[in-house]
C-alpha cells in the first residue's frame, strides 16, 4: 500500500533520523518528491514521537533509506495502533464531553448522540482504512469548540491553535472562531473587559504559534520553506476528482486550462469569501454557541466548495460541525453525513474498502434512524425552517409543501447514491470516458453540497430574525 500509510511511515523515518532543520528541505537524505512533509510542525513532532516508540519495537521500520516500502503484519498493527491511541486520547474524550454538556436533552439522547457521532463512517474509513490522523486535528478543533462555547476562551483558542498547527486545513474553521471571539469581545465592550479579552486571546494565539514553530523561526528561509510546503499555490485549482464547484464546473468548461493561474486564485478567493461573509458578519454581531456551530458548518462548506487545492478528504472538516448539530436537526445532518461519505467513494474503492464502507454506512444509518426517529422529524419546525417559510409565505401564500419536497428529495438522493455505487462497482466505464463514474459521483455530491450550503445559510440568516423580533416584542 503505497499511499498515506507509506507517507506516515516515511515521516517517522525522516523526523527520527534527520535534524529538525532538514525536515522540510530537499536534500540527498530527504527527497521531497517522495512523500515530503506537507503538514505543519505538530504533525512532524507526532511522527517523531511514534518513531521513538517504533525504535523500541523494531528499528528496521524507520531505518533511513532502507525502510522504504516496508510492510509487515507487525508494522501494520503498530501503525493502526498509533491511530487508535490518538483517537482514544484526543477525539473520543472530546466527543463524549461534548455530548455530556448538551443542554435540554435526556441522558439516553446524549448517549445516542455520542454513539452516532463516533459511528460516523467517513472518519472511521479515512483514518483506519485509508490511513490518516484526522482524529487528532478534528479532536483538537472539537476541544477548541467546547472551550469557546462554554466561555473557556483562552483554553479553547489554545486547543484550536494546536489543531491548526497539526493540519493547515483547519484554517477552514478559523474564520468562525475569529468572528465568534471578536463578537464576544465587542459584546463585553471594547473599552473595558472586551479589550482585555482581545489582548489575552491575541497573546495566547501568538504564544502557541511561537511554541509550535520555535525551531523554524530561527531562520527566515526555514519559515518560508515550511509555508511553501504547507500552501502549494503552484499546484492548481484542484487535483484529482473532488466534489467541489471547480471540478464540477470543469466538466463543462475547462477552467484550469483556460484561465491564467493568478486569476484562478482570485476567483476562488472571491467566491469563497462572498459565500461565507453573511454568516460571519452575523456571528460577529450576534455571537451565540448555536450560531457558532452553524457558522462553522457553512464556512467550512464554503471553503470546501470554492477554495483552492481542495482534497476530497477535506469534507471531514465540514462533517465534524454537522455531527455537532446532529441532535438539533437529525434528519438533515444524517442526510449530509451520508452524502459526505458517498462523495469519497472513488477514494474508498481505490483502497478496496467497499465492504467496510457499506457496513459502516448501514450501521450509522440504522443508529441514527433508531436513536433520533429521523423520519418523523421532517416538519418545518423540526428543520428549523419555520421563520424562513413564514417569510416566504408573505409573498407566496401557497408555500406549504417544503417538508414534502425535502422528503422526496431525500428519497431521490438515496436512490441515486445507491445506484451510482452499484454502477461504479459492477460496470466498467466506457473507453472514451474512463473517469465517468468518479466524475458523476463528484458532480452529484457537489449538487448536494450546494443545496446544504443554501440550507445552512438560510438557518443562520433567518435565525437572527426571530431573535431580533423576539427582543423587540419583549
Partner 1 sequence: MAAFGIATGGSNWFSALALGVTLLKCLLIPTYHSTDFEVHRNWLAITHSLPISQWYYEATSEWTLDYPPFFAWFEYALSHVAKYFDQEMLNVRNLNYSSSRTLLFQRFSVIFTDALFVYAVHECCKCIDGKKAGKELTEKPKFILSALLLWNFGLLIVDHIHFQYNGFLSGLMLLSIARFFQKRHMEGAFLFAVLLHFKHIYLYVAPAYGVYLLRSYCFTANKQDGSIRWNSFSFVRLISLGLIVFLVSALSLGPFLALNQLPQVFSRLFPFKRGLCHAYWAPNFWALYSALDKVLSVIGLELKLLDPNKIPKASMTSGLVQQFQHTVLPSVTPLATFICTLIAMLPSVFCLWCKPQGPRGFLRCLILCALSSFMFGWHVHEKAILLAVLPMSLLSVGKAVDASIFLILTTTGHYSLFPLLFTAPEKKSLFLIGWKLSTSLAWDLWKSSVNLYSLSPPGT
Least CB distance to partner 1 at residue 9 (A): 17
Is-contact 197 188, C-beta < 8 A?
A: yes
Selected binder of partner 1 within 102, 259, 285, 369 (CB under 8 A): 369
> Residues 77 to 106: which contact partner 1 by CB under 8 A?
77, 80-81
How many residues interact with partner 1 (rule CB under 8 A)? 24
Q: Least distance to partner 1 from the beta carbon of 367, Å?
A: 8
- The least distance separating partner 1 from the CB of residue 343, rounded to whole angstroms, comes to 22
Minimum gap (Å) between residue 328 Cβ and partner 1? 19
CA–CA distances in Å: residue 132 to residues 8, 79, 265, 316 = 8, 10, 28, 12
Q: Binding to partner 1 by residue 373, rule CB under 8 A?
A: yes
User: Judged by CB, which is closer to partner 1: 307, or 327?
Assistant: 327
Is there binding between residue 71 and partner 1 (CB under 8 A)? no
What CA–CA distance (Å, rounded) separates 443 from 242?
9
Instruction: Give the interface segment with partner 1, choosing from 200-208, 247-255, 355-363, 385-393 (CB under 8 A).
Output: 355-363
Closer by beta carbon to partner 1, 127 or else 312: 127
Cβ 443 vs Cβ 251: under 8 Å? yes
Given candidates 268, 275, 371, 389, which one binds partner 1 under the rule CB under 8 A?
A: 371
Q: Are 90 and 135 in contact (CB under 8 A)?
A: yes
Q: How far is the CB of 404 from partner 1 (least distance, A)?
A: 9
Three-state SS sequence of the chain: CCCHHHHHHHHHHHHHHCCHHHCCCCCCCCCCCCCCCCCCHHHHHHHHHHHHHHHHHCHHHHCCCCCCCCCCHHHHHHHHHHHHHHHHHHHHHHHHHHHHCCCCCCHHHHHHHHHHHHCCHHHHHHHHHHHCCHHHHHHHHHHHHHHHHCCCHHHHHHHHHHHHHHCHHHHHHHHHHHHHHHHHHHHHCCCCHHHHHHHHHHHHHHHHHHHHHHHHCCCHHHHHHHHHHHCCHHHCCECCCCCCHHHHHHHHCCHHHHCCHHHHHHHHHHHHHHHHHHHHHHHHHCCCHHHHHHHHHHHHHHHHHHCCCECHHHHHHHHHHHHHCCCCCHHHHHHHHHHHHHHCHHHHHHCCCHHHHHHHHHHHHHHHHHHHCHHHCCCCCCCCCHHHHHHHHCCCCCCCCHHHHHHHHHHHHHHHHHHHHHHHHHCCCCCCCCCHHHHHHHHHHHHHHHHHHHHHHHHHHHHHHHHHHHHHHC
Q: Which of 1, 53, 57, 74 binds partner 1 (CB under 8 A)?
A: 74
Selected from 21, 76, 465, 468, the binder of partner 1 by CB under 8 A is 76
* Cβ distance to partner 1 smaller for residue 81 or 419: 81
Please report how close the Cβ of residue 188 comes to partner 1 at its closest, in angstroms: 43
Among 1, 64, 214, 362, which residue sits at the site for partner 1 (rule: CB under 8 A)? Answer: 362
Using the minimum distance from each CB to partner 1, give the nearer residue, 74 or 101.
74
Q: Tell whether residue 363 is a contact of partner 1 (CB under 8 A).
A: yes
* Piece in contact with partner 1 (CB under 8 A), picked from 8-16, 71-79, 142-150, 446-454: 71-79
Residue 422 found at the interface with partner 1 (CB under 8 A): no
Query: With binding defined as CB under 8 A, does residue 379 bind partner 1?
Result: no
Q: Which one of residues 359, 409, 415, 454 is an interface residue with partner 1 (CB under 8 A)?
A: 359
Which positions from 386 through 415 interact with partner 1, judged by CB under 8 A?
A: 407, 411
Smallest gap from Cβ 105 to partner 1, in A, equals 14
- Residue 221 or residue 376: which is nearer to partner 1 going by CB? 376
For residues 354 and 447, which CB has a smaller minimum distance to partner 1 in the complex?
354
CB closer to partner 1, 171 vs 414 = 414
User: Least CB distance from residue 383 to partner 1, whole Å?
Assistant: 14
List 150, 217, 375, 401, residue binding partner 1 (CB under 8 A): 375
Contact between 346 and 278 under an 8 Å Cβ cutoff? The reply is no
Rule CB under 8 A: choose which of 31, 223, 378, 416 binds partner 1.
Answer: 378
The residues that touch partner 1, with contacts defined as CB under 8 A, are 73-74, 76-77, 80-81, 355-356, 358-360, 362-363, 366, 369-371, 373-376, 378, 407, 411
Amino acid at each position: 500500500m503505497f499511499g498515506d500509510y507509506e507517507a506516515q511511515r516515511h515521516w517517522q523515518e525522516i523526523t527520527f533520523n534527520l535534524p529538525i532543520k532538514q525536515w522540510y528541505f530537499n536534500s540527498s537524505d530527504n527527497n521531497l518528491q517522495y512523500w515530503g512533509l506537507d503538514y505543519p510542525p505538530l504533525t512532524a513532532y507526532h511522527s517523531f514521537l511514534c518513531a521513538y516508540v517504533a525504535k523500541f519495537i523494531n528499528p528496521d521500520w524507520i531505518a533511513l533509506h532502507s525502510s522504504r516500502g516496508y510492510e509487515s503484519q507487525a508494522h501494520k498493527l503498530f501503525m493502526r495502533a498509533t491511530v487508535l491511541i490518538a483517537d482514544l486520547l484526543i477525539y473520543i474524550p472530546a466527543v463524549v464531553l461534548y455530548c455530556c454538556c448538551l443542554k435540554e436533552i435526556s441522558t439516553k439522547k446524549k448517549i445516542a448522540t455520542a454513539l452516532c457521532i463516533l459511528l460516523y463512517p467517513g472518519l472511521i474509513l479515512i483514518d483506519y482504512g485509508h490511513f490518516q490522523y484526522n482524529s487528532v486535528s478534528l479532536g483538537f478543533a472539537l476541544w477548541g469548540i467546547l472551550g469557546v462555547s462554554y466561555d473557556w476562551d483562552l483554553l479553547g483558542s489554545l486547543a484550536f491553535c494546536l489543531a491548526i498547527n497539526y493540519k493547515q486545513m483547519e484554517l477552514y474553521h478559523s474564520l468562525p472562531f475569529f468572528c465568534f471571539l471578536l463578537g464576544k469581545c465587542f459584546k463585553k465592550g471594547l473599552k473595558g473587559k472586551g479589550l482585555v479579552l482581545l489582548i489575552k486571546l491575541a497573546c495566547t494565539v501568538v504564544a502557541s504559534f511561537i511554541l509550535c514553530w520555535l525551531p523554524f523561526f530561527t531562520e527566515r528561509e526555514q519559515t518560508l520553506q515550511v509555508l511553501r510546503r504547507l500552501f502549494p499555490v503552484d499546484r492548481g485549482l484542484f487535483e484529482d476528482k473532488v466534489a467541489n464547484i471547480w471540478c464540477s464546473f470543469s466538466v463543462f468548461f475547462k477552467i484550469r486550462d483556460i484561465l491564467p493561474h493568478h486569476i484562478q486564485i482570485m476567483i476562488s478567493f472571491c467566491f469563497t469569501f462572498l459565500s461565507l461573509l453573511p454568516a460571519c458578519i452575523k456571528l460577529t454581531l450576534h455571537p451565540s454557541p448555536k450560531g457558532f456551530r452553524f457558522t462553522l458548518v457553512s464556512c467550512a462548506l464554503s471553503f470546501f466548495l470554492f477554495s483552492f487545492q481542495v482534497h476530497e478528504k477535506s469534507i471531514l472538516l465540514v462533517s465534524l460541525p454537522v455531527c455537532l448539530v446532529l441532535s438539533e436537526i437529525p434528519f438533515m445532518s444524517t442526510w449530509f453525513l451520508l452524502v459526505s461519505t458517498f462523495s469519497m467513494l472513488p477514494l474508498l474503492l481505490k483502497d478496496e474498502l467497499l465492504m467496510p464502507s457499506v457496513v459502516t454506512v448501514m450501521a450509522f444509518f440504522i443508529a441514527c434512524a433508531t436513536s433520533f426517529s429521523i423520519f418523523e422529524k421532517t416538519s418545518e419546525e423540526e428543520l428549523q425552517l419555520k421563520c424562513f417559510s413564514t417569510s416566504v409565505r408573505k409573498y407566496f401564500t401557497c408555500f406549504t409543501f417544503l417538508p414534502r419536497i425535502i422528503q422526496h428529495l431525500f428519497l431521490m438522493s438515496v436512490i441515486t447514491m445507491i445506484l451510482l455505487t452499484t454502477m461504479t462497482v459492477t460496470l466498467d466505464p466506457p473507453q472514451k470516458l474512463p473517469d465517468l463514474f468518479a466524475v458523476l459521483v463528484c458532480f452529484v455530491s457537489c449538487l448536494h453540497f450546494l443545496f446544504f450550503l443554501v440550507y445552512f445559510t438560510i438557518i443562520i440568516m433567518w435565525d437572527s430574525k426571530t431573535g431580533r423580533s423576539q427582543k423587540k416584542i419583549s
